[in-house]
């Protein structure tokens, strides 16, 4: 259950960052909104989330997910 909540949180954070970028927000503004220390930290967080979410996606699992 905790893993599911973490994934939902990561998806929400990634979606926020994606929307903010599409609306022209600078990395520093995104960092400020997420209370991250710098623009570089926000950009790194975005890359980390993308990697984690791509690994965790069921389509990337060779074995099917069971309910």
pLDDT at 66 over 60: no
pLDDT band at 59 (very low <50, low <70, confident <90, very high): low
Q: Is the dihedral of CA 25, 18, 2, 41 positive or negative?
A: negative
Residues 51, 55, 57, 63, Cα dihedral to 10°: 170
**Span 2-56, pLDDT tens digits:** 778 888 888 999 999 999 999 999 999 999 999 999 999 999 999 999 998 888 7
Residue 58's pLDDT is 62
Residue 2's pLDDT is 79
Token pair listed for 11: 């998806």
Q: pTM surpassing 0.95?
A: no
Question: What is the number of alpha carbons within 13 Å of residue 18 lying toward its C-beta?
Answer: 9
């Amino acid at each position: 259950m905790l893993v599911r909540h973490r994934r939902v949180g990561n998806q929400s954070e990634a979606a926020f960052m994606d929307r903010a970028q599409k609306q022209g927000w600078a990395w520093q503004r995104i960092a400020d909104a997420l209370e991250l220390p710098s623009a570089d930290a926000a950009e790194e967080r975005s890359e980390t989330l993308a990697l984690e979410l791509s690994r965790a996606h069921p389509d990337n699992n060779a074995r099917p997910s069971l309910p």
